[in-house]
Structure 1
Amino acid sequence: MKKTNLSWVGALLVFALLLWCTAATPGTIADPASYAPAVYSSMLSLLPPVVAIVLALNTKEVYTSLLVGIATGALLFANGNLELAVNTLFFNEDGGMVAKLSDSSNVGILVALMNKAGGSAAFGRWASTHIHTRAGAQFATLILGVLIFVDDYFNCLTVGSVMRPVTDRQKVSRAKLAYLIDSTAAPVCIIAPVSSWAAAVTSSVPEGSGINGFTMFLRTIPYNYYAILTIVMSLFLIFTGTDYCSMKQHEDNARAGDLFTTADRPYGDDVDAEDDGRGHVIDLVAPVLVLIAACIFGLIYTGGFFEGVDFITAFSDCNASAGLVLGSSIALMFTFVFYRVRSVMTFQDFAACIPEGFKAMVSPMLILTLAWTLSGMTNLLGAKYYVANLLNGSAAALQYLLPVIIFLVAVFLAFATGTSWGTFSILIPIVCHAFPQGEMLVVSIAACLSGAVCGDHCSPISDTTIMASAGAHCSHVNHVSTQLPYAITAASCSAACYVITGLTQMFLGSSASLWTSLVLLGVAIVLELVVLNILRVKLGKKTKA
């Protein structure tokens, strides 16, 4: 309690100081075309996310902490003008809350439809006859997450909705379910050639650089250590039953019957809908398969594939947001027709699922809106350019240590801003400038992608972290606090591997090849397994003691 109170006192003192400075120097609103805050691209530009993250982790109050962080950013941006601070907070086109509220999605409605039709319940019935262990339930969650590789949002919501009844039956904690969902969202999408993330990466490679973005993305996959090591770590934890730090407490409590550990229930009583037995597994599988195919169609359609552009170019030049909305709309229409033909849902049931889907998304969308607004405030203050300049200045002196430097910078930037896409979109052009060609360019871009996913995975204000909590119906703070030690373990192994990879490139030079990348990936996996086994042995000794 004292720690929580001290956190709030510190935050209020910082906020009061900024408010006093703003009120004491009323200033004037500058010309929008030439306006820049006094702290632009400086260390203070990182203050808003730091305030929000520290408060959220210490007070367990996510909404209030994000609001304090957003207000801090608005005051910093205002340059001493209270009117500008209020306008920025709500109406700024690049970072204001009203602008962020305009984002939407159809995925929640589709998930509600599958639940209503009985597809998820039917899968639960099938799983109850085939999955009889905690490891089996967790492994099924992992496999389903890997199979749904098109988009991380749909991955989080679908895997959570389908697997919650299965993992609950096998007494797997909601925190562990959220971790498994999060570990197969961004980490899988960033190494899947056909995904919205691949499209975002390829579009981040600057034009005129002479590099094919999609080809470069494929070459980075073996060097994307954090993504691959996270999946390997999940498998190790599942099949060895190893857990540590706060996750161990959640899992021990789950075995005793308490799936939540804390009293926080952001999704109410969490009671599953009644199963009338009409649904079958096909009622779940068919909409998911159609959604994946429709999203791929939507992505290449927006990229001009049906206007004569080749598949790779169309995919790399697509509009990911528009393509996914188009794909989810097609899947929504198919699902309605499919369920009506199978007589598992009436029109009234279908209509009822629309508000039900929106209702299920209220809590995550509220957190997402606040997180996006905080990210917008951080961008308005130029935080990403401050971090990028630090990286650019160190590139020449530390050439072969650059991969690990890029990785750590990307982790920090993604953690502070809550966005991996924004992180690699600003860092990839810098990397391309530092290494115009060669294997070091591939390694460095991979380190950027890996670090961006790692920071995104750790950050409490990341959209995928929030959606994983929503999919598992888990308290967001519980998910963040239990996942962080696991993410740090994988990140530490990844950082060590980027040091090894940079030194290897120094000795091999132009003779490095695909086989080199595969050998280095093997070394990375072995290193992580050694670390995890050491942790397992030490934890075993502590338990016996």
Structure 2
Amino acid sequence: MEQFLNWAYMPLIPPLLTLLLVLLTKRVDLSLGIGILTSAFVITNGDVLGTIQKIWDAFIGLMIEGNWLNTWSAYILIFLALLGIMSAFMSMSGGARAFTNWALTKITTRRGATFLTGVLGVVVFIDDYFSAIISGQVAKPLTDKYKVSRAKLAYLVDTTASPVSVIFPISSWGATIMGLTAPLLIAAGLEHISPFESFMYMIPLNFYSIAALTLMFIVIFTNFDIMGMRREEERAFKTGILRDEGMDLTEDDDLPTAKYSQKEALIVPLIGLAVGVLVGMTITGIQEGGSLNPLTIIENNSITHALILGGITGVLLSIYYYYKYTKDDKAFTGKSTLLGFKEGFMAMLGPMTVLTLAWMTGELISELGTGSLLGAMVQNSNIPAQLIPAIVFIVACIMAVSTGTSWGSFGILVPIAGNIIVTLEEPALLLPSLAAVLAGGVFGDHCSPISDSTILSSTGSGSNHITHVMTQIPYAMIAAIISLISFVVVGYTESTWISLIVFAALFIVLFVLIKTIYNPVVTAESKEEIVEV
């Protein structure tokens, strides 16, 4: 038994089993639970009591760090609870309805509603968590009116969350990536290139992120809905049913709503949340970095503390407007206020549970050494140097899908890819290879049902989580294939421009094919597409 459990490739079994169960059962919580049990069982070599202890330790480790609260995971869960409460009071104050009615005077087509969502996701680039939650919350009332499926909304939100964060240097991702690449630049003899310059060079080489964003806007303007997304959009457009009947999230649809309100009841709390997050990032960045330098602040800020500050600000403002627009309505009592807190929290209980299980899974998979095993497979392989960027991209994709974390892939594969290039004395391939790691990590974020940013995208959009993952995968695969070809080209030509020309040509061919042979589900773009839901 012990000999079997020590088999070299055993670390791959638990994540693969988890992914298989997700696909077969459509139950994220059940699949994650079995994945956690299997991972702990393998780690302890089949010791039943040790397995139970390992699972308990993984849970406690998320909540307690040393003798104090683990502010990373605990604060994110608290933020989700605050967001649910904030959403409930914005709904009860009538702010969501008022904003939608106002937006309908500006956005008059279904395409306009989806385009606004895409642009909003690009604008909110500070952090992928923040973007995933806020973009969905703001856009949902408007896309609901135009019968856009929740799966489509979640796709738009998720497609802009991680890709935008990873290609913007002024984001919570940018400074960390610069920190990872700095020692590799010195080892490769590229001291003349600063970490910031290297990040800027990698932006056009991050083919997957650019491909995902490009494809998203093609989907918006051509209604290119395929496979599961086509089914979701067809049902939404024809019947007004925007999400699966087997919805795994609860919403505040049954909460009482103020009869008279203004759009400020939604806009001001959201602005307050955003300002609170930015202020929190600035304060914590200055405290930790000891400098007013913007890059130092970004590198050293605590996004979790900032989210809490923003969440509290948003909740207080939403409660203020709730009382402002309901104080003269006798239908609203103290029980209504308590109902807002209760329903807001309950709306986030499912996502909070799944996110906790996903974190536990990631922690145990990390202890298994799944990522290290995949990285070693790349390092020990005998392949041409020109294919290193493409191979690294594939491995990063597999690793991120298996572990549910792009950051885990970055932390393991960035040093490995860099050292491979240094060993082969191919400095020209260093930045393309590092960009391939970033690109593969983002792909994994989009395709893994245990990815936290994907879970939050489902949460913010009110979409069934598995439906979101399954409808997004075909688009992610199209973007990944185009990216893989581009990484092969840049590996052999060592030219960013040539690879970008090939990249653009592939998208032109795709666009022409879509316009020529694709028959969209939705063709009308009129106000008559509005439906009450």
Q: Which residue of 2 aligns with 1:106?
A: 79
User: Could you tell me which amino acid in structure 1 is paired with residue 364 of structure 2?
Assistant: M
Deviations 1:424-479 (A, max 9, x none): 11111223323459553222221111110001101111111111211222211211
Q: Within the alignment, does 1:237 sit opposite 2:219 as a pair?
A: yes
Query: 1:252/1:327 Cα in 2 relative to 1: closer, same or farther (>3 Å)?
Result: closer
Query: 1:262/1:445 Cα in 2 relative to 1: closer, same or farther (>3 Å)?
Result: same
Q: Which residue of 2 aligns with 1:33?
A: none
Which of 390, 399, 405 does residue 377 from structure 2 map onto? Answer: 390
Deviation at 1:532, TM superposition (A): 4.3
Percent identity, aligned pairs only? 34
2:284–2:301: 8 Å Cα contact kept in structure 1?
yes
Which of 322, 334, 346 does residue 359 from structure 1 map onto? Answer: 346
Q: Secondary structure at the match of 2:204?
A: helix
TM-score for the superposition, normalised by structure 2: 0.83
1:12-411 correspondence to structure 2 within 5 Å? 21=1, 38=6, 42-92=8-58, 102=74, 104-110=77-83, 111-112=86-87, 113-205=89-181, 210=186, 212-260=194-242, 262-268=244-250, 271=253, 273=255, 275-276=257-258, 278-304=260-286, 307-308=290-291, 310-329=293-312, 335=317, 339=321, 343-344=324-325, 353-394=340-381, 397-411=383-397
Deviations 1:177-220 (A, max 9, x none): 11111111111221222222224323433658647544433332
Q: Which residue of 2 aligns with 1:511?
A: none
Q: Which residue of 1 aligns with 2:529?
A: none
| Unmatched tracts of structure 1, length 5 or more | 1-20, 26-36, 509-515
User: Could you tell me which amino acid in structure 1 is paired with residue 248 of structure 2?
Assistant: P
User: Could you tell me which amino acid in structure 2 is paired with residue 433 of structure 1?
Assistant: N
| Unmatched tracts of structure 2, length 5 or more | 187-192, 328-332, 523-533
Query: 1:456/1:171 Cα in 2 relative to 1: closer, same or farther (>3 Å)?
Result: same
Query: 1:255/1:327 Cα in 2 relative to 1: closer, same or farther (>3 Å)?
Result: closer
Q: Secondary structure at the match of 1:222?
A: coil
Query: 1:358/1:270 Cα in 2 relative to 1: closer, same or farther (>3 Å)?
Result: closer
Which of 491, 496, 504 does residue 525 from structure 1 map onto? Answer: 504
Counterpart-to-counterpart distance in 2, 1:234 and 1:419: 22
Counterpart-to-counterpart distance in 2, 1:292 and 1:522: 38
Counterpart-to-counterpart distance in 1, 2:60 and 2:407: 16
1:89–1:95: 8 Å Cα contact kept in structure 2?
no
Deviation at 1:102, TM superposition (A): 4.0
TM-score for the superposition, normalised by structure 1: 0.81
Deviations 1:200-253 (A, max 9, x none): 323433658647544433332111111111111111111112211121111111
Q: Secondary structure at the match of 2:469?
A: helix
The CA RMSD over aligned residues, in Å, is: 3.3
Of 99-108 and 478-487, deviating more is: 99-108
2:166–2:174: 8 Å Cα contact kept in structure 1?
yes
Deviations 1:241-273 (A, max 9, x none): 221112111111112114346431223476275
Counterpart-to-counterpart distance in 1, 2:214 and 2:383: 34
Query: 1:263/1:209 Cα in 2 relative to 1: closer, same or farther (>3 Å)?
Result: same
Q: Which residue of 1 aligns with 2:439?
A: 450
Counterpart-to-counterpart distance in 2, 1:55 and 1:541: 32
Deviations 1:93-116 (A, max 9, x none): 797798897452325424424444
2:110–2:143: 8 Å Cα contact kept in structure 1?
yes
2:182–2:194: 8 Å Cα contact kept in structure 1?
no
Q: Secondary structure at the match of 2:203?
A: helix
Query: 1:269/1:325 Cα in 2 relative to 1: closer, same or farther (>3 Å)?
Result: closer
When the two structures are aligned, how many residues end up with a matched partner? Answer: 496
1:404–1:447: 8 Å Cα contact kept in structure 2?
yes
User: Could you tell me which amino acid in structure 2 is paired with residue 172 of structure 1?
Assistant: V
1:414–1:452: 8 Å Cα contact kept in structure 2?
yes
Counterpart-to-counterpart distance in 1, 2:301 and 2:178: 10
Deviations 1:316-355 (A, max 9, x none): 233443344345445556x369749x93577978776554
